[in-house]
Amino acid sequence: MLGLQTGFGQILDPVKWSFSTEKVNDQEYNLKFTATIEPGWYVYSQFLEGEDGPIPTSFNFDESDHFELVGKAVENSDHRKEGHDPMFDMNIVKFAESVTFTQKIKV
């Protein structure tokens, strides 16, 4: 007797992103990108040391005559974890549960 079992892969989507804007003044706005992260998963910082570790979070903005970036995106989370990661054998910064990245722009 021969048995056959078929498994269907599940597409994992452990991070949900949302976006909002906040007016700072007549010429500046904050673009807010918020990641809601499922338990057991993490989003890595934009600012990681070295190139042999996890892939850092990054944002790519198309150049425009309508706005300019002011500085780099700022990370804000109550669930920031920093320390040595044995898998990558390096110090890393990662976020659990949620993190908001805020990029200021000038219009």
- The predicted pLDDT at position 3 comes to 44
Give a yes or no: residue 7 inside a domain: no
**Domain span holding position 78:** 15-106
Question: What's the total number of domains in the chain?
Answer: 1
Q: How many CB atoms lie within 10 A of CB 63?
A: 8
Using 50, 70 and 90 to split pLDDT, how confident is the model at 1? very low
Q: Residue 95, SS3?
A: strand
Give a yes or no: residue 6 inside a domain: no
Q: What is the mean pLDDT of the chain?
A: 91
Give a yes or no: residue 3 inside a domain: no
Give a yes or no: residue 8 inside a domain: no
| Spatial distance between the Cα atoms of 3 and 84, rounded to a whole number of angstroms | 46
Q: Residue 90, SS3?
A: strand
- Per residue in 37-84, pLDDT tens? 999 999 999 999 888 899 999 999 998 999 999 999 999 999 999 999
Q: Residue 63, SS3?
A: coil
Q: What is the mean pLDDT of residues 15-43?
A: 98
